[in-house]
Structure 1
Amino acid sequence: MATIVSYQSSRIVELMDAREDQRDSEWLKDALQQAVMLELSTLPPYLCALWSIEDQESDVAQAIRRVVFDEMSHLGLAGNLLTTIGGMPRLADARTAPKYPGPLPGGVRPDLTVFLSGLTKDSLDLFSRIEEPDDPVTVESGGHTSIGAFYSAIGEAFRQHPDLITGTRQMRRLMSHHGEGNDVLEITSLAGAEKAIGIIKEQGEGTAASPENPHPGEQGELAHFYVFRELFHGRKLVRTSQNPDRWEFAGDAIAMPSALPMGKVPAGGWEAGGLPAPDEETRQRLVEVNLQYSEMLRFLERAWQATATADMQRNLSAAVTRMRFLVEPSQLLMQRALPDGSGRTYGPEFRYVDP
């Protein structure tokens, strides 16, 4: 079984340092567990920003919501890539669950500190840095490893070991109404594995030729990095010249929507951050969100553990339901002022708690 390491380790950097002839079955299982952790880690910060927006039908809210659905699909695909080679995603585990504020798992983009807050310019800048396209120099002296380079290495390991693909314990959820690449489908062949990896990379980064998402929900939809940079700059990304193409944030203005002023969750949660203790109603809502989030992770884990399709679908549906249960109490928390006079509010902590 693949080694389970701490969320806050540098395991991805270590895996990338392995020679190609060392990237065997156990390497691939270990790498894909890290990929599952990486995909999960983006959801809480993106969701906090989305849920803080007061007009949930605004263009900005809809743009972030599309990214969130893509990331959910990526989590499903990463899990299927792991189970098709005989591994098992570990999600409901205090060692592997995301920690905020903190780094991305595995040593990816070590310069970043991922935090939970409402929608701000700072959060948009963070999100774009998470999704930043691969650089020609993928591993720098400081141990900087890009997400794109990591998935490219996973793809190459699959091409070297296609015999590892068994098609076991494959989750299926049709989500093409959110985008043509958003179906979570069974991975039973090398072509299926390569397609899944391509979707994860290209929806986040675009391609070398274009900033557009090649697996869009609607025409002209941009890859995640460019979506977040547009929102950060407050301008649409447009092509300003051709041959060679040049793209600039020089198009129509994008208004920053009104958002609830959720503060940055401190390490260990609100009660560990040096603030006065929250009142009982606030505490109950914080506990409720953490419990529902933890149950969601447990149901997802059970879905991949199931051997019968009906059991898998039942657990997956339960996980989706728990996700929906997070929305209202999270938004209610964002309406409750912090007791420090800052004008900021509480918000969900997304802390994993054992049953």
Structure 2
Amino acid sequence: MSNPTPTTEALRSKPSYPAPQKPPKWETDKLDSLLKYLKHHLQTAMLIELYTIPMYLVSYYSITKDPDSRREQISTIFKQEMLHLSLAGNILCSIGGTPITLEHAPEFPTSLFYDGVPLDLDPATKETIKVFVEVERPEWDPASLSVSDDPKIAVLPDYGSIGEFYQQVIRGITTLDDRMKKAGRELFLEPTFVKQYKGGPKSDPETDGSWHGTELTIIKNLQDATTALELIITQGEGSSPVNGASPGDSHYHTFKSIYDKYNLEVNNVQRNINPDDYKTEKIYVALLTADAIYSYLLLTIEKLWQLEDRSKRRNIVTRNLHGLMGGALGPFADFLVNQRITPESEFFAGPPFRKYDFGAKPAKDQLKDLIQKTVAAYPDEATLVDIQTKIGNLVPLEEFK
């Protein structure tokens, strides 16, 4: 199967958020400067997850034949990336930062923070899985890990791997917490605790239903923060062998296993599909609807970190987060990857994962209008009617006060 036309580097969107250029001097730099550095690192950590989730989702939904149950493994990975995004955001919120999602979300084709890591929305071909292996590379010997003879990819300019970057965040948050306490200041701010995501059983009064397990914790102190960061490292890039740790089922090793024993069949999804290229086609309104669902989800995630009324959270989480992720975005992506872009095209559509500009009009009203038009364009698709119901149940963004 031929791959869609490769993206020229000139067409790649530039990252909208600057990567940390070098680790600060945590032991000697001024506290306020270090706090700014740390917030920058944590926002970067959020975006590392946000850059990978769309790629993994498009590849996941493109799979049509999966004899080794690899699809479920990819599903586990992108769910964990959502957990990591939430944890990084909780830590940022806990130290007085404002987590941002939609404004800094990537538009594909893009690069991960600088031109060294090209990222595309592609079907789950072997070449695509190879990119995932390189992006998730841990803090191990590159020669023993590379899936090819290609040079090592550095995800961030001054860090050799995502694992190395996260280790620097742990070092920074540990040192800054100690220095601030000695100066009579607190790094973790109690007024932020009610604004953070909290997973766990419904019997826990602090749980907002955002995560089924207890891994998604409110960050109240240094121990909470370091535990969360170590979980991100272990699940993502794997444990460092310096301490004799086993790599386990990290994202890197899962993708490496899929690459080494590749046995998938996929729909030929158009690489980096852009709605603007199909304004005269029936698929156009469906692509816009996918972008609006995604953008509404990111705005919901972001606004929940600003919501101080914890009694409202469960309702919003259930109707918006669960309604959009499981009830709308997933089924809609599955619908798209089974639609040919035009009746005669060899390529299938897919979610573009681009920002939808809601402007000044109520976002929910615009989303309802788009899904209604999509249902009218595809009257035989019962799934779209179910998605329309989920969108009708959304909490309007204007109520996030």
- Using structure 1 for the length normalisation, give the TM-score: 0.78
* Distance change >3 Å, CA 226–CA 139, structure 1 → 2: closer
Which one of the candidate residues 76, 80, 98 is aligned to 2:90? Answer: 80
Give, as a single letter, the amino acid of the residue that structure 2 aligns with 1:223. Answer: S
What secondary structure sits across from 2:46 in the alignment? helix
Report whether the alignment pairs 1:172 with 2:198.
yes
**What pairs with 1:1-355 in structure 2 (closer than 5 Å)?**
8=15, 11-14=18-21, 16-20=22-26, 21-22=28-29, 24-54=34-64, 59-93=69-103, 96-105=104-113, 107=114, 110-134=115-139, 143=157, 145=159, 146-162=161-177, 163-167=186-190, 168=192, 169-174=195-200, 183-207=215-239, 208=241, 209-213=244-248, 222-234=249-261, 256-266=263-273, 269-272=274-277, 277=279, 279-280=281-282, 282-317=283-318, 318-324=320-326, 325-339=328-342, 343-355=346-358
CA RMSD of superposed structures (Å) = 2.9
Residue 314 of structure 1: how far off its partner (Å): 3.3
What secondary structure sits across from 1:201 in the alignment? helix
Q: Relative to structure 2, which stretch is displaced further, 341-350 or 331-340?
A: 331-340
Q: Relative to structure 2, which stretch is displaced further, 127-136 or 61-70?
A: 127-136
Give, as a single letter, the amino acid of the residue that structure 1 aligns with 2:39. Answer: K
Residue 263 of structure 1: how far off its partner (Å): 2.1
* Distance change >3 Å, CA 331–CA 7, structure 1 → 2: same
Q: CA deviation digits over 1:195-248, x for unaligned, max 9?
A: 0010111111211135533xxxxxxxx1100100110110xxxxxxxxxxxxxx
* Distance change >3 Å, CA 12–CA 283, structure 1 → 2: same
- Using structure 2 for the length normalisation, give the TM-score: 0.69
CA contact (8 A) 1:261 1:343 kept: yes
CA distance in 1, matches of 2:230, 2:49: 14
Q: Percent identity of the aligned residues? A: 25
Give, as a single letter, the amino acid of the residue that structure 2 aligns with 1:63. Answer: Q
Unaligned runs of 5+ in 1: 1-5, 214-221, 235-254
Query: What is the total number of aligned residue pairs between the two structures?
Result: 306
CA contact (8 A) 2:23 2:168 kept: no
Give, as a single letter, the amino acid of the residue that structure 2 aligns with 1:143. Answer: P
CA distance in 1, matches of 2:20, 2:111: 13
CA contact (8 A) 1:296 1:320 kept: no
Unaligned runs of 5+ in 2: 1-12, 143-151, 178-185, 202-210, 359-401
What secondary structure sits across from 1:262 in the alignment? coil
What secondary structure sits across from 1:54 in the alignment? strand
> Between Structure 1 and Structure 2, whose CA radius of gyration is higher?
2
CA distance in 2, matches of 1:66, 1:198: 18
Q: CA deviation digits over 1:36-64, x for unaligned, max 9?
A: 11111111111111112235896101111
